Amino acid sequence: MIELYWKNATSQVIGPDHGITPGELSGLGDRMAAAQRAVDGQVRQGKLGYTTLPARRDYRDGVAALVAKLRPWCGDLVVLGIGGSALGNIALQTALNPITYNLQSDASRGGPRLFVLDNVDPTLLKDTLSLLSRRLNKTVFNVISKSGETAETASQFMIIRELLRDRLGNEFSKHIVATTDAEKGTLNKIARQDGYEMLIVPGDVGGRFSVLSQVGLFSAAMCGIDIDALLAGAAAMADRCTAADWTSNPACMLAAVQFLAYTTKGKPMHVMMPYSNRLYLLADWYRQLWAESLGKAVHRNGQPAFVGPTPIKALGTTDQHSQVQLYREGPNDKLVIFVEVEKHPEEVRIPEVFAEAPGLAYLAKQKMSKLLNAEKIATEYALAKSQRPSVTIRWPAITPENVGAFIYLYEYTTSLMGELLDIDAYDQPAVELGKQATFALMGRQGFEEVAKEMRPFIKPDKKYLL
C-alpha cells in the first residue's frame, strides 16, 4: 500500500513561515469537507467518469479480447497520440516493464516492443518508421484521439495509413486500432469505414484522466502488464479516498498540503521527484494532470482566477547534481513531492574493493538501493534544514497495484484541488485555443478569422530581428 508522509511540510519541522501549522490545517477543515462533499456528489451523479474506470469490466474485457487476438503476431506496437492520449501509456510502460524492454529479444519480452510517438517531429516519425520498415506486417498502430481531430495525431495517422495501404494492400486495416469516441468524431467515422478494431475513450472521461480506460490499458496489456492488478490497485485507493475523516484520507491530506503550500506558504512550484528511473515518467503524467486541470484563468462564477501551482519533474538522484542547489538555496517557492520505493525491482550489491581508499571503502558490500534511498533522505534533510517543505509518497514496491493506486490518488487529489481552488478542473480552454490556432495556420476551413488575427505572429517584424 502506498503511503503519504507529510511531516516535513509542517511548521514543526521547518518553522511556521514555510511549514503548515496545526491551526492552518484545522482551519482548512470546513473547506475540505465542502470539497469532499462536492466531489462525492459529482461521483454519485455520474459526472466524474474516471472514478468508474477501476470497476469497468466491459472496458477491461474488450481490451483483453483484442490483446488475445493481436499479441500472438504483433512484434511492434506504435501508439500515435499526444497529451492525455500518450503520457499515461508511456508512464505505465516505463514503470512496469524493464528499462531495457524494447532492447530485449522477442522471446524474452513476450510482447511487442512499444513506441509512443507523441510529437510531430518528422525526425521522430522517420527514424521510427525506418526501424520498423521491414516489420510492418508484424506492426500494430494504435491511433488514440478522443476528439479524433488533433492535428499532431491526425497527421501521423494519415501518413501511417497511406504507408500501410501502400505496403500491405487490403490487409492494411488489420494493423490499425483506433481508440476514440464510441459514437462520434472523424476518427470514429474513418475507423468504421476502413474496418479497424476499435477501443473507446469514454465521453465522460477527459484525456488526462483516461489512463485507466482502454486508452492506457491496451498498450499496457499488449506489453504484458497485469491490467487487472492495475485496476485493483486503483479500486483499493478509491476506497481509501472516500474516508470521511479527511485527516486520514490520503487524497485529502495531499490536496491539503499542496493547497496550503500554494495559497498560504508562497510555494507556487510543485516538484515531483521520484527516486526511481522506473517512476520518473509518472511525474510527466502528473505534470499534465496538474497543469491542464488546475491552471485556470477563471473561477466557476466567471471571476478572474489565474491560479495553478506549476508542476515540475525531477529525478533523484540525477537532479541532485542539477536542480537541488536551486531548490535548497534559491527562492523558497517550491514544495517537493518525493516518490520513494522501499524495495526496488532489481538489487545490486557494491563489491568489496579499494579497502585502502577510505573515500570509497565505506560503499563496499552495500546495496545500491540503500544508497539511492539514503540520497533521498539526504535531500529531504538538506531541504528541511533550509526550511523547504517536502512530502513523500512511499511505495513498498513497484507493482501494478501501486501504480494504479498512485494514478487514482493523484486523479482524486486533482478533483479536490479543483474544488479548493474553485475552478473547473476538467476543461482545457488554452489547449483548445492552441489547437484552433494550429488549424488556422495549417489552412483548415472555418478558421480564417483566427488566421487573420495571427498574421503578426506569422511574419516576424524585422525591427526585432537580430
Could you say which of 138, 174, 299, 435 is catalytic?
435
**Does residue 384 contact residue 8 with C-beta atoms inside 8 Å?**
yes
Question: Residue 90 or 256: which CB sits closer to ligand PA5?
Answer: 90
Nearest C-alpha neighbor of 420 from the set 266, 263, 237 = 263
Should residue 311 be labelled a site residue for ligand PA5 when binding is judged by CB under 6 A?
no
Q: Which of 145, 214, 249, 413: binder of ligand PA5 (CB under 6 A)?
A: 145
Q: How far is the CB of 176 from ligand PA5 (least distance, A)?
A: 16
Tell me the closest approach of the beta carbon of residue 199 to ligand PA5, in angstroms.
13
Which residue in this structure is represented by grid cell 493523484?
Answer: 410
Is there a catalytic annotation at residue 292? yes
Phi, psi of 354 (to 5 degrees): 60, 40
Are 160 and 80 in contact by the 8 Å Cβ rule? The answer is yes
Identify residues 417-446 at the interface with ligand PA5 (CB under 6 A).
428, 431
CB burial of residue 438 (10 Å; 0-12, 13-18, 19+): middle
| Shortest CB 423 distance to ligand PA5, Å | 15
Catalytic residue check, 462: no
Judged by CB under 6 A, the residue of 111, 112, 207, 400 near ligand PA5 is: 207
Q: Which three cell numbers stand for residue 159?
A: 501518413
The one catalytic residue in 321, 452, 462, 463 is 321
* Inter-helix orientation angle 400-421/250-263, to 10°: 50
DSSP class of residue 10 equals: B
Choice among 152, 197, 292, 419 that is catalytic: 292
Site of grid cell 483484442: 66
Cα 414 to Cα 7: distance, rounded to the nearest angstrom: 21
Q: By CB under 6 A, tell whether 156 contacts ligand PA5.
A: no
Tell me: does residue 287 bind ligand PA5 (CB under 6 A): no
CA distance linking residue 29 with residue 295, whole number of Å = 24
| Binding of residue 208 to ligand PA5 (CB under 6 A) | yes
Query: Cβ 154 to ligand PA5, closest distance in Å?
Result: 8
**Phi and psi at residue 276, in whole multiples of 5°?**
-175, 125
* Amino acid letter, 435: K
**Residue 49 touching ligand PA5 (CB under 6 A):** no
∠ CA(180), CA(113), CA(173), 5° rounding?
A: 45
Taking residues 81 to 120 in sequence order and writing x for each that binds ligand PA5 by CB under 6 A, - otherwise, the string is -xxxx-----------------------------------
| Stretch in the footprint of ligand PA5 (CB under 6 A) among 206-214, 330-338, 359-367, 410-418 | 206-214
Residues serving a catalytic function are 292, 321, 435
Residues contributing to the site for ligand PA5 (CB under 6 A): 82-85, 145-147, 150, 153, 206-208, 292, 428, 431
